[in-house]
Structure 1
């Protein structure tokens, strides 16, 4: 029989990997796709500075890596919940950005990501932290 803590640990890893893949995909899109082509998928991209797009792409990449690597390598695993909190901040900024532009209907995905990142931060800090080597 699986203990509740082991189940939580597995659930956290699944969420961490899914979030990391999501943020890595967004990073690759923002950093490698030409702005006009990217704006077809995300119209806001064509209406802001390319520095904002590239900057958020770098943050996406670093955040995605931070969700997995410190815990997986067991090197400074406290960075994992900190990365999750950083991504909460990024997503809250994205929500505010879209609401200010009259695009509140586009924030559902961001809200789900915020909740998942809060779950990771809570789980990896309080309930199922990863021990360092």
Structure 2
């Protein structure tokens, strides 16, 4: 079970790092042309940077506290934050009738819910 939780947290961390760094370094106009990222055209650059920082903090919160042993309670809390982030992402994609990105959001939401449940339950 612990291995499955680590793998799930690792997959989430990788996805959040890629998404967060992408939103920070790729210009908004270029990002809006990427498949599945058309939603970015409707938001300000500062909003996108805020989301990017949240994603990067969530990625750090899913791994670092458990690895260092410092405040490991932050891992399930970060996972709950990812659940909320994915709910917001799904709402955004569904409003734009983007079904495929919503499916990805459901997968990440399920992984985050599993990590939250597992780390709250198992410690």
Q: Which TM class, normalised by the smaller chain length?
A: over 0.9
Give the count of matched residue pairs.
121
CA distance in 2 between partners of 1:43 and 1:75 (Å): 38
Alignment of 1:72-91 (within 5 A): 72-91=67-86
Alignment of 1:1-133 (within 5 A): 8-41=1-34, 42-127=37-122, 129=123
CA distance in 2 between partners of 1:92 and 1:66 (Å): 18
Which stretches in structure 2 are left out of the alignment for 5+ residues? none
CA distance in 1 between partners of 2:100 and 2:11 (Å): 23
Deviation per residue, 1:16-38 (Å, 9 max, x gap):
11111110111100011111111
CA distance in 2 between partners of 1:121 and 1:40 (Å): 33
Computing the radius of gyration from Cα coordinates, the structure with the larger value is: 1
Q: TM-score, normalised by structure 2?
A: 0.92
Task: Report the CA distance between 1:118 and its aligned residue.
Answer: 0.5
Which stretches in structure 1 are left out of the alignment for 5+ residues? 1-7
